[in-house]
Chains A and B, each alone.
Chain A
Amino acid sequence: MALTKKQTAELAKQVFEYAPAPESIDHVKIQPRYGLFIGGRMVEGHSKKRFPTINPATETKLAEVVEADDVDVDRAVKAADKAFDSWAHLAPSQRARYLFRISRLIQERSRELAVVETMDGGKPIKESRDVDIPLAAAHFFYYAGWADKLEWAFPNRKPKPIGVAGQVIPWNFPLLMLAWKIAPALAAGNTVVLKPAETTPLSAMVFAEICMQADLPPGVVNIVTGAGKTGSLVVTHPDVKKVAFTGSTEVGKLIQRSIAGSGKRLTLELGGKAANIVFEDAPLDQAVEGIINGIYFNQGHVCCAGSRLLVQESIAEPLLEKLKRRLSTLRLGDPLDKNTDIGAINSKAQLERIQGLVESGIEEGAELYQPDCVLPERGFWFPPTLFTNVSQSYRIAREEIFGPVLSVLTFRTPNEAVEKANNTPYGLSAGVWTDKGSRILWMAERLRAGVVWANTFNRFDPTSPFGGYKESGFGREGGVHGLLPYLELN
């Protein structure tokens, strides 16, 4: 039975109305201002420039952080360089113990970290609580175990650490990306200078406290806050021997160019435009959940988001109907509310980017669908959005939107699905939904992407390597493969 948009909204209201269930924040102490974490303690910045970090759901200021300058970055790199020799030569089992300790401390402070993450970044508390923070702890726990087993990871070699790693991370999974960077680097015996994203520095500041609580030797981890300029200072510093970046393809290319000829080792985890492919024999209800999770998880601020839905033509109509109905049951609002599905857009700049691309989709001729959805008055919000009648050449089918916007395309044959899925400079992830096992493997073989989720989407695990083909970057994070970027195998 086809429901009108209004009827669906009515239905959703009757069935899915929930009382507010806000997570308490009284146990969380955000300081009014933060310094830089250098040489094992919080220090004043040489730079007197500070900038506010705000709660994107309310636009209220949470704290002020330093915009680290060249002197600050140099101090951080020097501290890391000084700490390198003793950290690299520490008994590997001792290195392991520090990492296990950090993992435990993250677990112990998990609720605080989840609240900070949600307040600073706008993501729903159920996601920071159930995904970001547990995965961050698990990542440290996994790599802790590798620290004294590196010879077993790379037969016939004597793996050695590289030196100081300069790491720059994005705002979509602040603590988790920090864990993905710091855990393997430290396990391999490197020291790090990490720069969190401009809009989400606070969980990294809590992590600095955790390093102190763990009695981690001074200088092994250093954290400098700032924007693009600070990040550029970190990666181009001559004493940084290894660079790891997660963020946009545009900035990744700038970094690759800026360190050309320096001999620095580099890994990049960049953008994506993943195809989520649904065949006519797929279990449709499961596929709908997977599509929703694929693109609306974390407001679509996910590099591996399933932002292009490829549906087999024969089931396009029933699938879209189910999808639209499901869309209207998503709850958008206060990220601290435990029932919220879609939180705030991370920043004003990102909201404007999403709005611009959605505008282009309408102009180019795609058909927009948004459920009836009341947006809060303050803060940055964007309703879950779906485009049909999308051509492959449209910007919304080619460019990474990094927002809750799904472009729907159709296909007839498996070959056409592969052709369309691979028709992008990106190659980070892909999804396949079908009941036929042989087809899953056939598709998985042909999709040019680093991660293929079959009959599931957006799953992550510390043991599972993650990273892109083509312009989605190179190098892997997670698993034994995630150690390689931080080791010399000579």
Chain B
Amino acid sequence: MFRVYKTPKPPPQPSAAQVLAGLIAQGATDLLGIPDNASAALFDLASSDHRVRCLTVTREGEAFAVAAGLWLGGRMPVVSIQCTGLMESGDAIRGTAVRMGVPVLCLVGYRGYAKMLRAGIDPGSVPADHGELQRHDVDSAAVHLLPTLGAWAIPYVFLDPEREAESIRAAWVRARTEERPVAILLTAPLAAD
């Protein structure tokens, strides 16, 4: 078992088991990426679940290329990374999942989300002042996330803590219908049980 870090007052999130069940119900075959605090319990669970194959990559951009290859070969992968890794993945997302039209679901750990809210910053806003990106009480990874997804034309949804299966289903329907990557944002760690 891996350690799962706990935030002091995490917003309610579904359990990793519920999310994994939701992914498998939609046909997920592989979970790729790098665990973060939000997804650690999911990787822990998936690594011992014979229904999905779990692969840890060395850098997040790889996950999208591997996912594209898996899809070419007939499988239905899910990528799970932190938002910092999503930003690192820019050209891999553009050149594989987007350019090839791969319907891949991407769980994104929204690092710094609660901190950003406490600082009074609207998650969807583009920083008007460069100083906002250097404030000690704000995680710039959070501030950059939604503007980055918007710039890269990646649709996203927040994981609904009370209807996680529907969140996953709706995101995957969109990914498949529009043949593109779709992100599901995790604003707090998934519960380990």
Are both chains from one complex? no
